[in-house]
Structure 1
Amino acid sequence: MTLSTRPTRALAVAGLLAATAFATACGSSDDGTATASSGDGASSSAVAGGGGTLRIALIGNTGPVVAAKNDGSLAKDLAKVGAKVQFTGQFPAFAPAAEAINAGALDAAQGSISSAIGALAQKPTFKIFAAQLDNATSEGILVKDPNIKSVADLAGREVAVNPKGTGEYLLLKALEKNNVDPAKVKRVYLGAADGATAFSSGKVDAWAAWADFVATAKAKGARLVADGAQVGSENDTTYSISNTFLAAHPATVKAFFDNIRRHSIAEHEDPQAAVDKENTGAIRLDDKAAAILAQNYRTQQPIAPIDATFQERFGHVAAFFAQQGVIKAGLDPKTFTVAPETLR
């Protein structure tokens, strides 16, 4: 069976509806979740610019946001500025989370520069307030076929990528770096979960993936024919906040930033302890994949405020996507990022 190569909004809409339904069904709980909307004051603000209920997407099963949920620390930190937190269910990737932000059903989410740019080019309803420099060795083009020994061998093959996101960015960077005509490689547009299924079942020849997905695939015997470092990736991890929430509750966003930065520092300094703390959900990484993730954490830089270096890299990725025809034109990074002084 040949998979469709046309991007589908059905997966994104399904993810949005499922997450919204999950959030509606959940009441307050021990981890500090709440069902109030972001416009609700939650309680009297402890500081100017605090208050509100921050609705955060859970993307993936590990990372600083998951750690902040698991240990209950984010709920406690936000309470200090008169705010609450609501974890609004599991999203497969940033794209459907961005649609939820666009629809006013979500306030914050994490994702790559490439996926953020893909979403911002369609509807700019959020800004990036923090980022982690790309951990380029934890992403790339996964293959299982021993006959695929180089990026050049992808010519005539099918590669699963998430559209206008990390997968499409990594594949196009790899093809450019290795002078392979993109027209000779068939892009199969799939969300992250469906990409994993297509790759593991052999319905595609390769898969452009990242983070937990790479760790899990490598644990099952896949290998990276090219990683992000080899193709010159600048695909930093970003943390985004809706324009509406940022305008109303900047002190709450600052408290959120301080919390996830602290968790990201812990990941870098003691990777195994961080993985043990985060990898506790119903869907868990096996021991081998968890060990690979811990290795990635050791080289991953902590979350930091937006600076000139990040803005430059943002500009590079946006210009590359425009040059490749993924988006219509480049984006001005200063328009779509939050200056550090805004959160001081």
Structure 2
Amino acid sequence: MKRRTAGLWAAAAVLALVASAAGCSSEPSSSSGRTTSVTFGYIADYSGSAALAVAAKQGLWQKAGLSPDLKVFTNGPLQVQALGAGNLDFGYLGPGALWLPASGKAKIVAVNMLGQADRVIARPGTGITKPADLKNKKVAVAEGTSGDMILNLALDQAGLKPSDITRVTMDPSTVVTAFSSGQVDAAAIWYPLIDTIKKRVPDLTEVSRTEDYYPELTFPNVFVTQPDLPDKNPALVRKVTSVLRQANDWIAAHPEESEKVTANFLKLPADQLAGSTKYVKLLSSEELTDLTANGTVDGWFNGLTDVFTNMGKLKSPADAKDYYVGDLYKAAGAAAGPPQ
């Protein structure tokens, strides 16, 4: 009898282990309430965090069976490094870092907004009013960012070479300090950091703007993932992209309110992000789906690869269809509901 009882306990233990193993699936179960954890990088400004702020506020992650671990970064290239090291599942890139997906280091899962915030600015008294005036001037720039991109576009427009300026590379917050204190003549940077600079240097000059190159060039900021994740786990990518689509549509329908939601998410005074939507172009996910289907989005990315090639960032750029997973973006629309 004791032997039989021991056998029954052993069988029960095996069944328990099997049941436990079955419960360790990486896919969420709506019936059990289990969720899948994803790590997601962002930048602490409006464009870099609005979608994540809205997704949290609207409970979109939970509805999709996802549990996000959000990590703040100062720029896009650092997020791509984290993606490559396996420390991040998804992240955010501004347009100046799109050379990284084009070089095979990430896959784009969704367009976020079209950026219009980048500027080359000059201090008063430097004599800099147009791109050609940058020659022989000291210019601060954050390497590999959209500031880097706008600076190179300005130099190219003026027929100048990178060697025609004294380029001072530093991180974005240091650019603000260096420009404000007069350590440099000019800087390549973006809003809302320029708003901070204007409080100290109100009579600065905007030498070059993103809009100067639109629509010949379009500057999308995007969400990205690890290069192999769309193939390894397309279901997860679709779920995350569905959340991003829903957040995007809510933002497009409530632009001013989205500024307040984002400020609250970043623990900033509401007025600090007021007017942020002036520096982006918002498109609904339906519009982005259509623009993906007709090849327009691929054209945006391919147009920028020419810029990055001229900058020396790319030697053998990939075609957008190889790093923008547009089919998964379109498929994610089936799971996305209308904005609330």
Tell me which of 188, 192, 217 is aligned to 2:168.
188
The 1:119/1:164 distance shift into structure 2, 3 A limit, reads: farther
Task: State the Cα RMSD in Å.
Answer: 2.9
TM-score (structure 2 length as normaliser): 0.75
In structure 2, the CA distance between the partners of 1:343 and 1:134, relative to structure 1 (3 Å rule), is closer
Residue in 2 that maps onto 1:315:
302
Q: CA deviation at 1:246?
A: 2.6
- The answer on 1:324 being equivalent to 2:324 is no
Are the equivalent residues in 2 in contact too, given 1:58–1:90 (CA < 8 A)? yes
Q: CA offsets, 1:125-179, max 9 Å, x none?
A: 421011145333x222122325321112211112222223312211111111222
Secondary structure of 2:93's counterpart equals: strand
1:117 aligns with 2:103: no
Pick the structure with greater CA Rg. 2
Query: What is the 5 A alignment of 1:6-155?
Result: 41=25, 44-46=28-30, 52-62=36-46, 63-68=49-54, 70-71=56-57, 73-79=59-65, 83-87=66-70, 89-118=71-100, 120-121=102-103, 124-132=104-112, 134-136=114-116, 138-146=117-125, 147-155=127-135
Kindly, what percent of the aligned residue pairs are identical?
A: 19
Q: TM-score, normalised by structure 1?
A: 0.74
**Counterpart AA for 2:156:** E
Any conservation in 1 of the 2:111–2:223 contact (CA below 8 Å)?
A: yes
Query: SS of the residue aligned with 1:291?
Result: coil
Q: How many equivalent residue pairs?
A: 294
AA of the residue aligned to 2:247: H
Unaligned runs of 5+ in 1: 1-39
- Give the direction of change, closer, same or farther, for the CA distance of 1:148–1:236 in structure 2 (3 Å limit): same
Deviation, structure 1 residue 283: 5.8
Matched, 1:225 2:212: no
- The answer to whether structure 1 residue 300 and structure 2 residue 274 are counterparts is no
- Which blocks of at least 5 consecutive residues in structure 2 are unaligned? 1-23, 332-340
Aligned AA (2:40): I
Asked if 1 retains the 8 angstrom alpha-carbon contact of 2:150 and 2:208, the reply is no
Distance 1:291 1:235, change over 3 A: same
Q: Is contact 1:112–1:238 with CA below 8 Å preserved after alignment? A: yes
Give the Cα separation in 1 of the matches to 2:36 and 2:179: 42
The question of whether the paired residues in 2 share the 8 Å contact of 1:51 and 1:252 is answered with: no
**Which one-letter code corresponds to 1:141 in the other structure?**
V
Matched with 1:170 is 150
SS in 2 for 1:225: strand
In structure 2, the CA distance between the partners of 1:228 and 1:84, relative to structure 1 (3 Å rule), is same
